[in-house]
A and B are shown apart, each in its own frame.
Chain A
Amino acid sequence: MSVVSLYMLDPIRALGRYTLLLTHAFESLNEFHTYRKNLFDQMVKIGIDSLPITALAAAFSGAVTTVQTAYQLVSPLFPKSIIGSIVAPSMILELGAVVTGFILTGRVGARIAAELGTMRVTEQIDALEAMGLNSIGYLIIPRVLAGVLMFPVLYIAAVLVGVGGGIAVAHLGGWVPAGEFVSGAREFFNPFDPVFGIIKSLVFGFVITSISCYKGYYTSGGAEGVGRSTTEAAVTSCVYILLADLVLAMTLL
């Protein structure tokens, strides 16, 4: 019974509670006055405050991809501009969203789970409810909405900085002149690629914030419970980002 419970019933229960929490959250969407102030706070915390680390990670991803592509394609058979043709779509299609997703799982997901988990174990969530406030509307809606609204912004910033990093390294390292890199990138540019990237970042934003809210909101067991929720939020978000990445690629590309 315990094995059945552990491997079959528990995941189903968790999915049920996650769905109920999100249903309740969506029902609270019309109570805008409850979460208006929190929404702007969270947009700053999730979006603006994450810009430096996202830009840093994206710049290095773009630069490393450029160096590795140049290393693999050193051949008179290929024009140098092909490096731009490979690096730019890589950033737009995959790296921009995934690097942002992983960075923000650690930075945003863990913070949300720890914050809500601490509020749960110190009865702050009970205090909100006992006052007559809709705690899900007040705490969860602004975080999930801020994630969905700000992840595409961070994705666009990551792509721009990543491609910029690639151009800078290619040019300064003497592999490809900046002009050739850009012309290569433009030659193979597909207008659907950035649309796909934005869809991906919307999904990742939702996955990370909703899973982290769920883990944090249902924390139990004191300080140890908060630690467990934080770890589970980060690990589960990473797994579902990878899964969503594959499903989106298979269905949309």
Chain B
Amino acid sequence: MIEAKNLFKSFNDRPVLEDVNMQIEEGETFAIIGRSGSGKSVLMKHLIGLLKPDSGEILIDGVDINKLDYRALRTVRRQFGVLFQGGALFDSMTSFENVAFPLATFTDKKPAEIARVVHECLEMVELEDVGNKMPSELSGGMKKRVALARAIALRPKYIFYDEPNTGLDPETSNTIDALISGLSDRLNVTSIVVTHDMHSVLSIADRAAFIHQGTIRWIGTVEELHASTDDVLLDFVKAHEYQIGGPRTSVATNPPSY
């Protein structure tokens, strides 16, 4: 289980997170939603320990990762798989080498066994035949899928997704959603998805937290989302409905007076 307790963070005296509290249960798919610049990616970096809070705790299975020394923190991180926004594939390595990297670095597996696991991971993201390609030869969606294969190579307990659909066409975006959903079931992992794509949230998440101006404005199950009476949350959800062809009146502004 992942818990954030009374989390505060400022950059250059500008508060980015203010008293954030939440719990992510084992096995669920939890979405952190909010507008661009609301602090959701910063929150995710705190959960992985890439950023340290000014005050507050991040508990991973009951252990406060900010109290650990660097070596112990790295051991905790080995339970994580992270899919970064642009994939963050190592561009000096082929796709195969990227997926093999954590296996070769952290396990005693023989090369043949590593190759078997890499092919298995690439098969899970439906990209069996790109092993020899360099990241620069892959499309945006393919890069994310190879990065996802790398993230699951060590069979993590938690998978973090940072804006998995950003920059992708709707069809590829659906493919990524289906992969996230499929992997959660197949590997029985806890998934944390940072996104502003409501379509994605509605199709893959069990619960969601809505971050607004650095605080958690709303938290609940996806079914409860539409029943919410919070204006700011409803505006966010409606803006998405408008994008996919919902009623224009819900977001239309007053006509100009001239």
Which residues of chain A have a CB within 8 Å of any CB of chain B? 118-119, 122-124, 126-127, 129-134
Query: Is B80's CB within 8 Å of the partner chain A?
Result: yes
Are the CB atoms of A134 and B74 closer together than 8 Å?
Answer: yes
Chain B residues, Cβ within 8 Å of A118: 91
Q: Give the residue of B45, B70, B91, B102 whose beta carbon is less than 8 angstroms from that of A131.
A: B102
Contact A123:B85 (CB < 8 A) given known A129-B50, A131-B102, A132-B106:
yes
CB distance from B175 to the nearest CB of A (A): 22
Can you name the residue of chain B whose Cβ is closest to the Cβ of A128? Answer: B90
Chain B residues, Cβ within 8 Å of A133: 74, 105
Are the CB atoms of A127 and B75 closer together than 8 Å?
Answer: no
Chain A residues, Cβ within 8 Å of B91: 118, 122, 124
Contact A134:B88 (CB < 8 A) given known A126-B50, A129-B50, A129-B77:
no
Are the CB atoms of A130 and B80 closer together than 8 Å?
Answer: yes
CB distance from A9 to the nearest CB of B (A): 13
Which residues of chain B have a CB within 8 Å of any CB of chain A? 45, 48, 50, 70, 74-78, 80, 82, 84-86, 88-91, 101-102, 105-106, 154, 160
Chain A residues, Cβ within 8 Å of B82: 126-127, 130-131
CB distance from B111 to the nearest CB of A (A): 14
A104, B50: Cα distance in complex, Å: 33
Chain B residues, Cβ within 8 Å of A132: 74-78, 80, 106
Question: Other CB < 8 Å A-B pairs besides A123-B86, A132-B76, A132-B77, 17 of them?
Answer: A118-B91, A122-B86, A123-B85, A124-B88, A124-B91, A126-B45, A126-B50, A126-B82, A126-B88, A127-B90, A130-B50, A130-B160, A131-B78, A131-B82, A131-B106, A131-B154, A132-B75
Chain B residues, Cβ within 8 Å of A127: 82, 84, 88, 90
CB distance from A217 to the nearest CB of B (A): 14
A122, B86: Cα distance in complex, Å: 7
Can you name the residue of chain B whose Cβ is closest to the Cβ of A126? Answer: B50
Contact A130:B75 (CB < 8 A) given known A123-B88, A124-B90:
no
CB distance from A144 to the nearest CB of B (A): 19
Can you name the residue of chain B whose Cβ is closest to the Cβ of A28? Answer: B70
Q: Give the residue of B74, B88, B102 whose beta carbon is less than 8 angstroms from that of A122.
A: B88
Jot down 24 A-B pairs with beta carbons below 8 A, ordered by A.
A118-B91, A119-B90, A122-B86, A123-B84, A123-B86, A123-B88, A124-B88, A124-B89, A124-B90, A126-B45, A126-B84, A127-B82, A127-B88, A127-B90, A129-B77, A130-B80, A130-B84, A130-B160, A131-B80, A131-B82, A131-B102, A132-B77, A132-B106, A134-B74
